[in-house]
Amino acid sequence: MSTTATSGSIGGQPSPIKTGSTEPLQRLDTAAVAKRLQQELMSLMSSGEKGISAFPQGDSLFTWVGTIEGASGTVFEELTFRLSLNFGADYPFKPPTVKFETPCFHPNVDLQGNICLDILKEKCVRTVLQSIQSLLADPNNDSPLNVQAAKLWDQDQAVYRQMVMKTYNAAKTS
Amino acid sequence: MLRRDTLAQLGRALQGCFQHTLDTLSRDDTGRALEEARSLAALLERMGAKELSVEAAVAGTLSHLQAHLEERATRNASAPWLAEALEYTASWPLRLLQQLLPEAGASGWHLWEQRLRYFVYERAGLIFTDSLFDLVVDFPDSLPTLHDLRACLENTSLLSHVAQCFAAATKKRLLHPGAATSDIVQQYIFSIRAMRHVDPTDTALAPARAATQDYLRTRRDAIRCIVGLLTADEEGEDNVVLEELEGEGEAGGAGVGWGMGVPLIPCFDGPDADLQALAEAERWRPEPVDAVERVTGSDAVSQLVGIWGSKDLLVTEYRSLLADRLLAKQGYDCDRELRTLELLKLRFGDAVLHTAEIMLKDLADSKRINANIRSAARCAARGERAATVTATMLSALYWPQGSVPAPDEADLRLPPDVGSWLEEYGQAYHALKAPRKLQWCPSQGVVQLEVTVGDQALELTVTPAQAITLLSFRERSEWGEAELAEQTGQTPAMARRNASFWAMAAYEPFILGMLANFDSLPQDRIHNMLKMFVSDPPYDKTLDQLSAFLAHLVAQERLTCGGGTMYKQKL
């Protein structure tokens, strides 16, 4: 990955280049996105917010690992969920792709961990994580990805908690 | 000659045939094999060698049982299987024997049954003995199997064999330089506990115990390790020593030679004293012939302490560990230490633990005096800064030598403003407790600081030396190593280490954030990730500096170090 954008001819020019290769433009974008992500990392780390956290994975700034703790007083209490966040070169104009890596029994999360898209309109990492955390406690049952979870949520919270624990622990032991 | 050979061959054939019958019980050719066995037995009988056919049939049964037991043991390592095996023995094998040799009569069959049962007990006992060390490791999960082994021992004469094997396994697997002392101690306690279930007469454990005790005596850190386990903070399942100290439950009884003894002759009182005595007498069993000299009524802790023959060593070690622990404490709460002390007092008597009691009382007094001084200071306008100080007052004479620096020893040089706070606090103490005066040990304790780096405010808990080092940078932004050391009263090496600590502190949130999202990371990976992702302030430290800083975070219990250079978030 190249994060240096030193090319004088392009730097600072907001107008799109219509002719020739688009590669320099992409590189510039990548650099800008990387810079933006770096700033978000700084603010996320210094905010020290409880219950949510994220950090770039391995050697790329574009793939992050996120961690969300279930809010206390909800069925997800005391559980920790891992997420993956993938940022495209068009970030922040397009939201990152967020997936649950820890299986999560939730109306708006499918069995592969994909999350119902409309909550991902949020732009920055911190607000994405915050809205997923609040989605855990407050699902949108009108357009569920996991129909069983949506039904059970309305029927019986105690049984729902059992299902959450079962899903969660199955992943831990496997 | 020829006849004898033929007979032997026929016998072997019958044995094989019969074993095959049993082996293939569930399959179709059982009937045919049994027929064959019958005709062989008839042939032998016609040749006048009936005893031979009985012997051959029994031998066939035994080798079938042997295979059966081995198969069961490998299939069912965790669940108990002895009762099932006995039941099985009494069903098919015995019934087939009866079919084959119907004329033996009831008494004959009874003898065979006894013989088969003995065989099962013996073989099962040998199988359990082979894995006894692992069973002890798995204790208490392995309890059902240990009970099986106990049944085997009660019905056979394997006891001394078990004792020898267990001692050999312990020597081979535990008492070697590769095992950590704490593991040896814990396994020793597990052995004592587990073997109580195998052999209440203590014979099976005796050789292994003697070997372990001899070995622990050669380990210098054994006492420290035992005391450490006794006083450890964690109440987790790991702390078997403390559990033993607390639990009178299983073994009951008290120490050997000191503390409260158990009366050797039980006393019976009340109207049904006679009945009780009679019941007790009926419970009595003679010791097995191969029993060794018993360590009656002694539990694991006494056995551990008994290794050194005297409690003095242990008490000394306990005091020094207690001192370390109390001095490292933030706050005055020492309920746990008090409880441990009470338990130790029950065991070792009050007298030897008197000084330890004073140490704990120092903390309780400090709590009271400190609250007093601070509330007084808050009222008095001038003494407000004394209220930021929290002190622990020690009766220096009662603390182990070396745990508290002597007053004339070179110590940290405090900045004047901090020094004046301490002085105010000291005056308040003098006013309260005259004629006593405080003598400060500035290098002990902790400092809570709020540091602003860029626009992030960090709450940090650091050592006094680290705090003083940072405070020196208020007056000058650059110090030479020797100058800084002189200014703060540290050695140059300490000054350098503490200065580089502050250079690292800005990266703490990143390190913690990283480990919040990864289960654990090796040190060099942390180093690389800091290099790659942290730009403000840019990360320019060496791996050694990072390593020192990580060690500091571990000491602060922010991180845990999972062996080698792997680090984890402290949960």
pLDDT at A82: 92
Residue A48, chain B, CB below 8 Å: the answer is: yes
pLDDT band at A64 (very low <50, low <70, confident <90, very high): very high
A85 vs B53 pLDDT, higher one? A85
Angstroms from B112 CA to nearest CA on chain A: 49
Closest partner residue to A59 (CB to CB) among B517, B518, B532 is B532
Cβ(B169)–Cβ(B120) under 8 Å?
A: no
Can you tell me the distance from the alpha carbon of B473 to that of B475, in angstroms, rounded to the nearest whole number?
5
Q: What is the per-residue burial (b if ≥16 Cβ within 10 Å, else e) of A53-72? A: bbbbbeeebbebbbbbbbee
Structure token pair of residue B427: 């005056």
Can you tell me the distance from the alpha carbon of B259 to that of B345, in angstroms, rounded to the nearest whole number?
9
Cβ(A154)–Cβ(A75) under 8 Å?
A: no
**Residues of B in Cβ contact (< 8 Å) with A67:** 516-517
pLDDT at A1: 40
Question: Is residue A43 a part of any domain in this protein?
Answer: yes
Q: What is the per-residue burial (b if ≥16 Cβ within 10 Å, else e) of B165-181? A: bbbebbeeebbeeeeeb
Closest partner residue to A41 (CB to CB) among B455, B518, B533 is B533
Q: How far is CA B126 from CA A53, A131, B70, B340, in A?
A: 56, 62, 10, 41
Three-state secondary structure readout of chain A: CCCCCCCCCCCCCCCCCCCCCCHHHHHHHHHHHHHHHHHHHHHHHHHCCCCEEEEECCCCCCEEEEEEECCCCCCCCCCEEEEEEECCCCCCCCCCEEEECCCCCECCECCCCEECHHHHHCCCHHHHHHHHHHHHHCCCCCCCCCHHHHHHHHHCHHHHHHHHHHHHHHHHHC
pLDDT at A10: 38
Question: Is residue A137 a part of any domain in this protein?
Answer: yes
Q: Which of A52, A116, A132, A136 is catalytic?
A: A116
Cβ(A133)–Cβ(A68) under 8 Å?
A: yes
Q: What is the per-residue burial (b if ≥16 Cβ within 10 Å, else e) of B470-497? A: bbbeeeeeebeeeebbebbbbeeebbeb
Residue B473, chain A, CB below 8 Å: the answer is: no
- Residue A38 and residue B533: Cβ atoms within 8 Å? yes
Cβ(B123)–Cβ(B65) under 8 Å?
A: yes
CATH number at residue A47: 3.10.110.10
Closest partner residue to A65 (CB to CB) among B518, B528, B533 is B518
Question: Is residue A59 a part of any domain in this protein?
Answer: yes
Say whether the peptide bond before residue B266 is cis (omega within 30 degrees of 0).
no
Q: Helix or strand or coil: residue B403?
A: coil
Can you tell me the distance from the alpha carbon of B53 to that of B37, in angstroms, rounded to the nearest whole number?
10
**Residues of B in Cβ contact (< 8 Å) with A56:** 529, 532-533
Question: Is residue A69 a part of any domain in this protein?
Answer: yes
| pLDDT tens-digit map of A86-144 | 988 888 788 888 899 998 888 888 888 888 766 666 578 888 888 888 888 888 888 88
**CA-closest candidate to residue B549, choices B455, B451, B445, B466:** B466
Question: Is residue A45 a part of any domain in this protein?
Answer: yes
- Residue A59 and residue B516: Cβ atoms within 8 Å? no
Can you tell me the distance from the alpha carbon of B497 to that of B552, in angstroms, rounded to the nearest whole number?
11
* Active site (annotated) includes residue A104: no
Residue B524, chain A, CB below 8 Å: the answer is: no
Q: How many domains does chain A fold into?
A: 1
Question: Is residue A85 a part of any domain in this protein?
Answer: yes
Angstroms from B530 CA to nearest CA on chain A: 10
Can you tell me the distance from the alpha carbon of B483 to that of B499, in angstroms, rounded to the nearest whole number?
12
Note down the domain range covering A118.
Answer: 26-173
Interface test with A, best of B529, B533, B558 (most A CBs within 10 A): B533
Give φ, ψ of B460 to 5 degrees: -125, 145
| Helical axes B543-555 vs B508-517, angle rounded to 10° | 80
Instruction: Lay out the sheet containing A80-86: strands in order across.
Output: A52-56, A63-69, A80-86, A97-100
Has the ipTM of the complex gone over 0.85?
no
Structure token pair of residue B269: 């009182």
**pTM recorded for the entire structure:** 0.55
Residue A1, chain B, CB below 8 Å: the answer is: no
Cβ(B68)–Cβ(B88) under 8 Å?
A: yes
Size (chain B), residues:
571
Structure token pair of residue B275: 């009945």
| DSSP letter (8 states) at residue B474 | T
**Residues of B in Cβ contact (< 8 Å) with A55:** 513-514, 516-518, 529, 533
Residue at token pair 């930021």 = B388
**Residues of A in Cβ contact (< 8 Å) with B528:** 59
pLDDT at A65: 92
Give span(s): CATH 1.10.10.10, chain B: 447-569
**CA-closest candidate to residue A111, choices A100, A120, A119:** A100
Angstroms from A17 CA to nearest CA on chain B: 31
Residue B289, chain A, CB below 8 Å: the answer is: no
| β-bridge partners, B458 | B451
| Helical axes B82-90 vs B105-130, angle rounded to 10° | 160
Question: Is residue A86 a part of any domain in this protein?
Answer: yes
Q: Which of the four CATH numbers 2.30.30.100, 1.10.10.10, 3.40.50.620, 3.40.50.2000 does domain B447-569 have?
A: 1.10.10.10
| DSSP letter (8 states) at residue B568 | E
Q: Helix or strand or coil: residue B179?
A: coil
Residue B455, chain A, CB below 8 Å: the answer is: yes
Question: Is residue A21 a part of any domain in this protein?
Answer: no
Can you tell me the distance from the alpha carbon of B571 to that of B557, in angstroms, rounded to the nearest whole number?
10
Structure token pair of residue B367: 């709590």
pLDDT at A66: 92
Structure token pair of residue B305: 């302490």
Size (chain A), residues:
174
pLDDT tens string, chain B, 571 residues long: the values are 556 777 777 778 777 777 777 776 655 556 666 777 777 777 777 777 677 777 777 787 888 888 888 887 777 666 777 888 888 777 777 777 777 766 666 677 788 788 888 888 888 888 888 888 888 888 778 888 888 888 888 888 888 888 888 889 888 888 888 888 888 888 888 888 888 888 877 788 888 888 888 888 888 888 888 777 776 654 444 455 666 666 543 333 333 333 333 344 555 666 777 777 777 777 776 665 555 554 444 566 677 777 777 778 788 888 888 888 888 877 888 888 888 888 788 777 888 888 889 999 999 999 999 888 888 777 765 556 666 788 888 888 888 887 777 666 667 888 888 888 888 888 888 888 888 888 888 888 888 888 887 666 778 888 888 888 888 888 888 888 888 888 888 888 888 888 888 877 778 888 888 888 888 888 888 998 888 888 777 888 888 888 888 888 888 788 888 777 788 887 6
